[in-house]
Structure 1
Amino acid sequence: MEELVTGTIDNIFSGADKEVLVDVVRLIQKQGLNSSRGNWKEFLNSYDRKLGDSLSDPSKRSADVLTAFLKSFNQTKDLMFIGKIFRHFRDQRAFEMHIKNSLNEETPEQRLVRLTMEHPQYRRNYYCDAYNTDWIVVPLGDMSKVMKSSSMLSVDCEMVLCNDGTEEVVKVCAVDNKLNVKLNKIVNPNKSISDYRTEITGVSAKDLEGVTCSLVDIQGSMKKLLKHGTILVGHSAHNDLRALKIAHHRVIDTSYIFKYSEVRLTYTPSLNSLCKAVLGYEVRKEGEPHDCRIDAEAAMKLVLAKLGHGFDEPLKIDKRVPDFSHAMLLHKIPVEVPCQELKKVFPRDFYVDIKADLKVRGPFYSTHAIFKDDYEASIAFRRIDGQERKDCEGRPQKLVCLKLSTGQLTSFYVCKTMSSSPPEDSKRQRISSAIDANEGRACSSEPCKHAEEIFRLKQQLSAREDEIFSLQRILSDLTRG
């Protein structure tokens, strides 16, 4: 880092791997940093007058162009930031290359690390935000010694939702490969909490009274436990690493190391489903709160099963779908909206149970509103304010607006998923079906002249809905600010 500040930036980037340079430039674009010659596109327009920013994809540019852009930064804070992310991406790349060049010497545990890294979702999920100041990076040390280490540590976290819209760790547990507990703590986020998600986390406001353990304390403990190349184990472990704000290169992700009969490359099963397929039992029954220790142990048992028995054939995962015949799907809910507030959308004279999302990640989440029966669900949907449209599967849905207890406005979709309609609608439904059938026959008797126009309008509608959500997020941010 000091090299960057003292002006020897030329020596830092000269001869650097192009993939590392590409990653650094893309991250600079994402952060919106400007050099002495402007942002990336402005730099291209002045540096390459022939092509300019018409070829702005960093991966399509030469290493010399990428290096020239990085050298155009001269502010100390920018140089410090660039130096940090450059070292992180450089170390990540060196680690990956060492793995590829050491296949003949890899241990069984290291093979699972490699399988994790070869998964198509790895780069997207594990090239994390380690450049942020509140993150810690676990150093690898001597690479040759690290690769021979078979030490493993399984980690699981639970999160609460805070008033500022962030998710923060409230519980964490770590067990070693003998299932001995090495860390088991309740963590005080030291923030105002809007949703404890007690039905999931098992934590309430009372449980945090007198708790002084902070995320910084957990980071210090984890750094000691993961030193000397210890492998971090977890199910979708990138979520736990982001929650803990820890960057660690040596990871076994249990959702990545098994093959599935699903044809989608992006498919990953839940921990519950995977344990049933591999270990023969479910981690928890539906509706039970999570237990970090049980989940951490389950992930470690999956790794031990893979090491001991192979499981090289594709697994058939039992994806049981709960009976939501008298439910509504609520989706594209902004993450800062607590589940309890969602009930305000529905008429007060109906019983409704909001099922909390088990693993809320990213800007939006989904959940279900469960009614007493499909009749009440149908009537409640009819009485919800909002224009009715069809979702991508042809189901009725409404875009609803909701004012939260904080005064903030938000919006999301309520989708009708029940299979039956109320009794008094049966005759109307038959008439409607007959009309639809007649219209269908009329359309089939001649070329469908309006198909292209319908498709175009659907595209416009989809784009407009995306625009509404973007504007709503901006409004929410302004209201919160």
Structure 2
Amino acid sequence: MDQKLDSLEKKVLVELVKLVQKRGMQGTVGGWKDFLNLYDKKFGSSLSDPARRSNDVLSSFLKTFGKEEDLKFLAKALQCHLNRDLVEKSKKIISVDESPEQCRGWSAQLLNTHNTHYVIYSHHTKRLEWVVTNLGKKSKVMRSNTMYAVDCEMVLCEDGSEALVKVCVVDRKLEVIINELVNPQKAVADYRSEITGVSADDLVGVTRSLADIQKRMKKLLSHGAILVGHSLNNDLQALKLDHARVIDTSLVFKHSDGLRRPSLNNLCKAILGYEIRKQGSPHNCVDDACAAMKLALAVIERGVDCVVREDVPETERAKLLLHRIPTSVPSEELHRVVPGDFTIEVKPSKKAEGGNYCVIAIFNNPQEADQAFEIVNGNQETDSCGRPQKLVEFQSNAGITTSLYVRKMALDEPLDQVSMKKKRVFQGEENSGESKKLKTEQEIKEEIMVDSNQSNCDDHLKEIERLRQEVREKDFQISKQDKIISELRKKVKNTKKDKKKT
């Protein structure tokens, strides 16, 4: 251990010292500040920030730990750092001679290298029961595209902790590698059978322990294998396992609002085209692990869009939200501001909004709601979730110029041409093993022609959209006139009836 400490970079030593401080660990001379008071007579613990100390001071402090338990902790913490450092460095070295399959492996590795990933997967409070995988040699890690997907079920124990009760692992071909019940080896307070599908009777005679599963997982994930899962941090927590090369589909995919993590069931419906389970049904580890693997491969091999657009029901799309309405404007006046035939549902205020309120305008169908939104005069923008809305200025019956927002209930659908373009680009990259080689003059000419054609297509699309807008406006006016004619006919009939009576 001493030789390893002497060869470490300063940032690693600083991280280790901070971990030791956080755990309150004591070496042969006490804690970090005790060591500084003894080691440095001039400044002592007044200069206690590890980042402001030299490598010699940091390594000398870490060498004061000699207990077996402390050395095991330091070895695990060091291995965690080395694993993550290896993954980070391997991102920067991609050979131009790699096959498309190897490049897809690299794509998998890169999927979760963002800030959220590091925050969620930094297990800084590891105890002795935690296992850290060894990624192996750098060359093997860089070229490994071996993938496994995992899903775990946990029970609630009487001591308030959660314990692993079932685990399933599948490989890239969706073949089951592990599908085991696990003895929690603790008194269970709640089996959560409605979720886990496991009861006390299922565990009778089960001897498989967490340590047994950890041993198999550690062997399985050696040599740089990628571990896939949905909300994978929960599974790693249950397995008490630290592995640096992971794909978490709950972080890879995101809702169009960018604020929420999509559920596995919603992702299966949106990306894979099927429902993984009916509402209220218990989880199935094999199904969940297979779904996570399919989702990861959908990105790596087919380049599917990682932004999930929710399927908004027609009843919701037949509505518009009118918000930030001044309380001085009665809801009856809103029919002057927004065109069309709609009913108003005033939404109860959840908080004081500075004298404003909001309502839902309910139309007969989504088409009428869209027409009303298109026709209403206002500056179009989007809300914080990306939904189209307009700031509409108008003069109230009281003669005051004021404003409100009119917003759609769902995002606009993207143009099919955009998704087709993405698909063509991805297919071109996948079919070509020479993506990093210089392009020939012929290829450049072809690209120029494609760009020119694309520009013409864009112009045509704009013209089509303009004509569609005109048609929508005319349809709306015709619909409005039909209603006026219908009302006039009713009045004529009523007038005739009144004359006959007299």
Partner in structure 1 of residue 24 of structure 2: 32
CA contact (8 A) 1:85 1:130 kept: no
> Which residue among 144, 149, 156 is the counterpart of 2:151?
156
Q: What does residue 280 of structure 2 align with? A: 287
Q: Deviations over 1:25-64 (max 9, x none)?
A: 2221221102244323444455557766566454455544
Aligned residue number for residue 111 of structure 1: 107
Match of 2:206 in 1: 211
After superposition, the CA RMSD in angstroms is: 2.9
Which residue matches 2:128? 133
Which one of the candidate residues 176, 180, 187 is aligned to 2:175? 180
Structure 2: how far apart are the matches of 1:297 and 1:84?
30
Q: Is the 8 A contact 2:135 2:221 kept in 1?
A: no
The answer for the alignment partner of 2:162 in structure 1 is 167
The TM-score, its normalising length taken from structure 2, stands at: 0.56
In structure 1, the residue matched to 2:7 is: 15
Q: Provide structure 1 residue ranges, at least 5 long, that are not aligned to the other structure.
A: 321-392, 396-481
> Helix, strand or coil: the match of 2:267?
helix
Q: CA shift at 1:199, angstroms?
A: 0.9
Per-residue deviation, residues 125-151 of structure 1 (Å, max 9, x unmatched): 223369533233332222212322222
Tell me the distance in 1 between the aligned counterparts of 2:108 and 2:201: 41
2:84 is aligned, of 70, 92, 98, to 92
Determine the structure 1 residue equivalent to 2:423: none
Determine if the alignment matches structure 1 residue 81 to structure 2 residue 73.
Answer: yes
Contact 1:130 1:136 in 2 (8 A): no
TM, length-normalised to structure 1: 0.58
Residue of structure 2 equivalent to 1:298: 291
* Greater Rg over alpha carbons, structure: 2
Q: How does 1:307-322 map to 2 (within 5 A)?
A: 307-312=300-305, 314-317=307-310
1:359-398 map, 5 Å: none
Matches of 1:134 and 1:95, distance apart in 2:
24
Q: Secondary structure at the match of 2:308?
A: coil
Are residues 192 and 75 of structure 1, via their aligned partners in 2, closer, same or farther at CA, if it must alter by over 3 Å?
Answer: closer
**Equivalent of 1:71 in 59, 63, 72:** 63
Looking at structure 1, the residues matched to 351 and 52 of structure 2 have their Cα atoms a distance apart, in angstroms, of 41
Hey, what's the Cα distance between the residues in 1 that align with 2:127 and 2:192? 27
Residue in 1 that maps onto 2:268: 275
Q: What is the rounded CA distance, in whole Å, between the counterparts of 2:14 and 2:126 in structure 1? A: 16
Contact 2:276–2:287 (CA under 8 A) maintained in structure 1: yes
Shift in alpha-carbon separation, 1:193–1:75, aligned structure 2, 3 A: closer
- Give the whole-Å Cα distance in 1 for the aligned partners of 2:88 and 2:227: 16
Q: Which amino acid aligns with 2:291?
A: A
Classify 1:243/1:80 alpha carbon distance in 2 versus 1 (closer, same or farther; 3 Å).
closer
Distance 1:307 1:191, change over 3 A: same
The 1:288–1:188 alpha-carbon spacing in structure 2 relative to 1, beyond 3 Å, is same
State the distance in 1 between where 2:103 and 2:116 align. 23
1:227 paired with 2:219, answer no
- Please report how far the alpha carbon of residue 121 of structure 1 lies from its aligned counterpart in structure 2 after TM superposition: 1.9
Indicate conservation of the 8 Å contact 1:273/1:319, yes or no: no
List alignment gaps of at least 5 residues for structure 2: 314-349, 353-502
Name the CA distance, whole Å, in 1 between partners of 2:220 and 2:159: 31
Question: Bigger shift: 44-53 or 100-109?
Answer: 44-53
Q: Is the 8 A contact 1:20 1:90 kept in 2?
A: no
CA distance in 1, matches of 2:152, 2:18: 30
Q: Which AA in structure 2 matches 1:108? A: R
Instruction: Find out whether 1:200 has 2:195 as its counterpart.
Output: yes
Cα contact 1:130–1:246 (8 A) shared by 2: no
Amino acid at match of 2:233: H
**Aligned residue pairs, count:** 312
1:309: how far off? 2.4
Q: What corresponds to 2:115 in structure 1?
A: 120
**1:156 to partner: Cα distance:** 0.1
Following superposition, the deviation at residue 213 of structure 1 comes to 2.0
Q: In the superposition, relative to structure 1, how do residues 168 and 29 fare at CA in structure 2: closer, same or farther (>3 Å)?
A: same
Instruction: Tell me the distance in 2 between the aligned counterparts of 1:148 and 1:207.
Output: 41
| The 10-residue stretch of structure 1 (138-147 or 25-34) with the greater mean CA deviation from structure 2 | 138-147
Question: Do 1:112 and 1:257's aligned partners in 2 also have CA atoms closer than 8 Å?
Answer: no
Who is 2:253 aligned against? 258
- Cα pair 1:187 1:215 within 8 Å, conserved: yes
Structure 1 residue aligned with 2:137 = 142
Q: Deviations over 1:165-185 (max 9, x none)?
A: 221111111111111111111
Contact 1:130–1:245 under 8 Å retained in 2: no
Change (3 A) 1:263 1:40: farther
Structure 2 CA distance for partners of 1:43 and 1:276, relative to 1, 3 Å: farther
Structure 1 counterpart of 2:81, one-letter code: F
Q: How many angstroms apart in 1 are the aligned matches of 2:232 and 2:214? A: 15
Q: In the alignment, which residue of structure 1 is the partner of 2:374? A: none
Q: Paired residue for 1:454?
A: none
Q: Say whether the 8 Å CA contact 1:140–1:146 is kept in structure 2.
A: yes
Q: Secondary structure at the match of 2:85?
A: helix
Partners of 2:306 and 2:128 in 1: CA distance: 43
What CA distance in whole angstroms lies between the structure 1 residues aligned with 2:12 and 2:170?
34
Q: What is the distance in 2 between the residues matched to 1:183 and 1:129?
A: 28
State the distance in 1 between where 2:164 and 2:217 align: 14
Distance (whole Å) between structure 1 residues aligned to residue 71 and residue 148 of structure 2: 35
CA contact (8 A) 1:130 1:247 kept: no
Q: Aligned partners of 1:99, 1:12: CA distance in 2, in Å?
A: 25
C-alpha contact 1:119 1:256 (8 A) present in aligned 2: no
Cα distance, 1:295–1:76 mapped onto 2, change above 3 Å: closer
Q: What secondary structure, in the 3-state scheme, does the structure 1 residue paired with 2:227 have? A: strand
1:25 touches 1:66 (CA, 8 Å); kept in 2? yes
Secondary structure at the residue paired with 1:107?
A: helix
Separation (CA, whole Å) in 1 of partners of 2:264 and 2:43: 49
